[in-house]
Structure 1
Amino acid sequence: MTTEISSDSVEKIGQQLLDTTKPLNDRFRALFTLRNLGGEMAIDFISRCFTDPSALLKHELAYCLGQMQDVYAIPTLKKVLQDESQEAMVRHEAGEALGAIGSPESLEILKQYSNDSVKEVAETCQLAVNRINWLLNDGKNQVLNNRVYLSVDPAPPDNEVNVDVMRNTLLNENLSLFERYRAMFSLRNTGGKDAVLALAEGLKCSSALFRHEVAYVLGQMQHDACVQQLAVSLKDKSENPMVRHECAEALGSIATKECTDILQKYLTDEERVVRESCVVALDISEHEKSEHFQYADTLSKLTDKKQVNADELP
């Protein structure tokens, strides 16, 4: 982002992120504001928050650092990936973020944790290694041209256009996760009800990491054809919390009244990450239904507050 902003403003936004007395949805908005602003000061504030008790927030910190694609964040992400006291979903996201940044210097640690005892962490690191190797083999120009959803994805879409062929690849558990992820993102980019329904079938696949990514992609697409499938996975108490959390956030992005009603039911769920995801999802849903363009609005709120204060001066 090229907008010039004072270090004082970044400081205030960063302090909102770090303030554990603030509602989680406000801290999320501060986090995404810092992500959009970028720069070392923003990364430093995000990095300081990995001691927070909320696994959901820490997972989102790592995600944002990856999306920023700044090598300055690599040491923090390596540290989080190595920290076995961190929750699996946080370590997984740190590995994915290293892959998103795409620096060859991360290959060594990613290969090391490709055999991690936590399956979701191991699979994530394998995908990240594949992504970086793909980038090194002249994939960078292609990935820049395929950012339809303005996100840095853990695998590039392939060149297939037939939904049935992509669906078959997506659901074929004999293929590598990297190949199946490529089909996943191709289906997302193709769009439409048939692609959404094909993706929703992936919520029944064996890998929790894969199921969580399917839910994430369905949230990006914001198509209501998959509401019931997402609701079934969210309801399933035996499902991996990482998957349930992503289903909740996807429902928040789709933002129909049905989605809101479903999310309300899980605000008191026994899994903290699910409860918190529903809080954030309902906040996202309110944003989607509002006339406000920007979800990451902490900077504009600070600016508006300054304007109000100035107007009150005699």
Structure 2
Amino acid sequence: MVTAEEVAAIGRTLVDAAQPLPARFRALFTLRNLGGRAAVEWIGRAFGDGSALLKHELAYCLGQMQDEAAIPLLVRVLEDTSQEPMVRHEAGEALGAIGNPSVLDILKRYSEDPVVEVAETCQLAVRRLEWLQENKQEPGGSPYLSVDPAPPAEETDVTKLRETLLDESCSLFDRYRAMFALRNLGGQAAVLALADGLRSGSALFRHEIGYVLGQLQDEACVPQLTAALRDRSQSPMVRHECAEALGSIARPSCLETLRAFARDEERVVRESCEVALDMYQYENGTQFQYADGLCKLQASA
């Protein structure tokens, strides 16, 4: 049984800007795994931080926790135009992930936000909530244990799914459904079809492609992820997700690129490379778990 004092100790690591960013990420994911009202409150306290990357991950984790206690906090983040677009976008996505239809009105309002990443995210979140209402159930469980912004398509033909994925005349929701269907199918053909998406669509779409490729952890897409990270004409939110994907794939072919871009001029990119290098070490080391905040706390007691 985790005590309130242990949760608070992990929370203090998360909100301490003097701590290395990878340590704060590990504390965040520990809180996500622990869950509960206290964990939600500690995560919420970190939204005043200066790191857009960290705040993006705070919102992501709150969505994955699916705890309705986080809804008021996420609504405030979505409404706060002083927050970076990638943070507000993730707050909108998290509201969709939690799945409570009470947020439909706020999501519809921000579906017309002047920031395109925020608007598109809220449109997707509205469609996810409507899908849940129509189907009266959550989508089938993701093999990656993630709550996704769209249910996977029922189609299983990789060629047809690739066509939908890359067809910019299709709705963003349908393209996302193709994306998650390809991810769930796996295999090199699906991975390469997804990697082609790094050259297609909006920054939000390409950002999600990077995320999905990181989940797949297949070295076949390293050249495309590396090219996108190196391409400074890409949105920073795309480049950051490609960096994190390379850290998750964690093959030697990823290491030199991550080290080089850990000095990038874009803060969110260099911080993503810093976190990705920590993930690389974890994937290639002997540590039992990445979210090790509780283990470290108990070991020091």
TM-score of the superposed pair, with normalisation by structure 1: 0.95
Counterpart in the other structure of 1:264? 259
Cα deviation, residue 291, structure 1: 2.1
Aligned length: 301
Cα deviation, residue 304, structure 1: 1.3
Indicate conservation of the 8 Å contact 1:146/1:157, yes or no. Answer: no
Cα deviation, residue 139, structure 1: 4.8
Cα deviation, residue 137, structure 1: 1.1
Counterpart in the other structure of 2:200? 205
Any stretches of 5+ residues in structure 1 without a counterpart?
A: 307-314
- Are residue 277 (structure 1) and residue 287 (structure 2) matched? no
The SS at the match of 1:226 is helix
CA distance in 1, matches of 2:97, 2:201: 24
**Deviation per residue, 1:120-157 (Å, 9 max, x gap):** 0000000000000101112525x1x3321100000010
Look up the equivalent residue of 1:138 and give its one-letter code: N
CA distance in 2, matches of 1:164, 1:275: 35
- Are residue 249 (structure 1) and residue 249 (structure 2) matched? no
CA distance in 2, matches of 1:206, 1:95: 20
Indicate conservation of the 8 Å contact 1:203/1:214, yes or no. Answer: yes
CA distance in 1, matches of 2:136, 2:218: 29
- Which of the numbers 136, 151, 157 marks the counterpart of 1:156? 151
Counterpart in the other structure of 2:44? 47
Counterpart in the other structure of 2:292? 297
- Which of the numbers 178, 182, 189 marks the counterpart of 2:177? 182
CA distance in 1, matches of 2:183, 2:225: 16
Counterpart in the other structure of 2:120? 123
- Which of the numbers 79, 83, 88 marks the counterpart of 1:86? 83
Any stretches of 5+ residues in structure 2 without a counterpart?
A: none
Look up the equivalent residue of 2:55 and give its one-letter code: K
**Deviation per residue, 1:49-92 (Å, 9 max, x gap):** 10000000000000000000000000000000000000000000
CA distance in 1, matches of 2:233, 2:169: 25
Indicate conservation of the 8 Å contact 2:142/2:184, yes or no. Answer: no
CA distance in 2, matches of 1:168, 1:293: 40
Larger radius of gyration: 1
Stretch deviating more after TM superposition (287-296 or 212-221): 287-296
Aligned ranges for residues 26-175 of structure 1 at < 5 Å? 26-141=23-138, 143=139, 145-175=140-170
Look up the equivalent residue of 1:27 and give its one-letter code: R
Indicate conservation of the 8 Å contact 1:158/1:186, yes or no. Answer: yes
CA distance in 2, matches of 1:104, 1:146: 20
Look up the equivalent residue of 1:148 and give its one-letter code: P
The SS at the match of 1:265 is helix
Percent identity, please.
62
Counterpart in the other structure of 2:10? 13
Cα deviation, residue 292, structure 1: 1.9
CA distance in 2, matches of 1:188, 1:276: 26
**Deviation per residue, 1:103-122 (Å, 9 max, x gap):** 01110100000000000000
CA distance in 2, matches of 1:16, 1:50: 14
Look up the equivalent residue of 2:59 and give its one-letter code: A
Query: Runs of 4+ in structure 1 displaced over 4 angstroms?
Result: none
Counterpart in the other structure of 1:226? 221
Q: CA RMSD in A?
A: 0.7
Look up the equivalent residue of 1:206 and give its one-letter code: G
Indicate conservation of the 8 Å contact 2:204/2:238, yes or no. Answer: yes
Indicate conservation of the 8 Å contact 1:170/1:202, yes or no. Answer: yes
Cα deviation, residue 302, structure 1: 0.8
**Deviation per residue, 1:179-235 (Å, 9 max, x gap):** 010000000000011100000000011310000000000000000000010011100
Counterpart in the other structure of 1:309? none
The SS at the match of 1:140 is coil
Look up the equivalent residue of 2:127 and give its one-letter code: N
- Are residue 192 (structure 1) and residue 153 (structure 2) matched? no
